[in-house]
């Protein structure tokens, strides 16, 4: 069985990108895949200083081991100043090819303004650099302040359908590329 790990790249308590990640993980699980979320808001991670050992930070070990055991990833980030969040980039920087190479990855960005792909393109470059496989489907949720209902679901039916296709593609490609299907 495939295992997908989602990483939320926001530290905000009421994070829209985390909300989008929860929806994506639920859709992956509905397809019969094991999935979990690493919530960076709940982890104590240092700033990456380029070394490989962080003995005072057990969450670095947890991050690395959880990602290494995964077959695929979902990275969800708010878009800040035209790019991915620093907290998500830092979490990725704390890992290496050992954890990230070969991972099938789906990308989600959430913006306060109009939709664009800057954060998604940035993450695509980072993940390609570490030899991960990023699926072509990606999700950009614009105007996050009006994208979700009180129940946490997406209000735009077309966007919700795109999220379904995103989950299907992630599961299918993970099984195919990791030899699990």
The 3 state secondary structure assigned to 21-37 is HHHHHHHHHHCCCEEEE
Residue 135: pLDDT over 80 = yes
Residue 132, Cβ neighbours under 10 Å: how many? 22
Q: Which domain holds residue 89?
A: 3-177
Domains in the chain, number: 1
Per-residue pLDDT at 117: 86
Residue 98 has pLDDT above 70, yes or no: yes
Judge contact between 67 and 100, C-beta under 8 A.
Answer: yes
Percent of the chain topping pLDDT 70: 99
What are the structure tokens assigned to 10, written together?
A: 């926001």
Mean pLDDT of the chain, nearest integer: 95
pLDDT digits (tens, 9 = 90+) for 149-159: 999 999 999 99
Q: What is the CATH number of the domain that holds 131?
A: 3.40.50.360
pLDDT tens per residue, range 16-35: 999 999 999 999 999 999 99
Q: What is the mean pLDDT of the segment spanning 58-81?
A: 97
Helix axes 118-129, 86-93, angle to 10 degrees: 0
Whole-number pLDDT of residue 181:
63
């Amino acid at each position: 069985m495939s295992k997908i790990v989602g990483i939320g790249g926001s530290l905000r308590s009421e994070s829209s990108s985390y909300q989008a990640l929860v929806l994506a993980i639920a859709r992956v699980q509905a397809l019969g895949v094991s999935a979990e979320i690493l919530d960076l808001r709940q982890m104590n991670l240092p700033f990456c200083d380029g070394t490989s050992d962080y003995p005072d930070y057990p969450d670095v070990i947890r991050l690395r081991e959880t990602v290494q055991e995964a077959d695929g990833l979902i990275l969800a980030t708010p878009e800040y100043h035209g790019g991915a969040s620093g907290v998500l980039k830092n979490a990725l920087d704390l890992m290496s090819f050992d954890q990230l190479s070969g991972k099938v990855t789906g990308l989600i960005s959430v913006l306060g303004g109009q939709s664009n792909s800057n954060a998604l393109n940035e993450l695509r470059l980072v993940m390609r650099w570490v030899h991960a496989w990023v699926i072509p489907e990606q999700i950009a949720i614009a105007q996050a302040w009006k994208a979700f209902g009180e129940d946490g679901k997406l209000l735009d039916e077309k966007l919700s359908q795109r999220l379904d296709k995103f989950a299907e593609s992630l599961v299918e490609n993970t099984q195919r590329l990791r030899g699990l299907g």
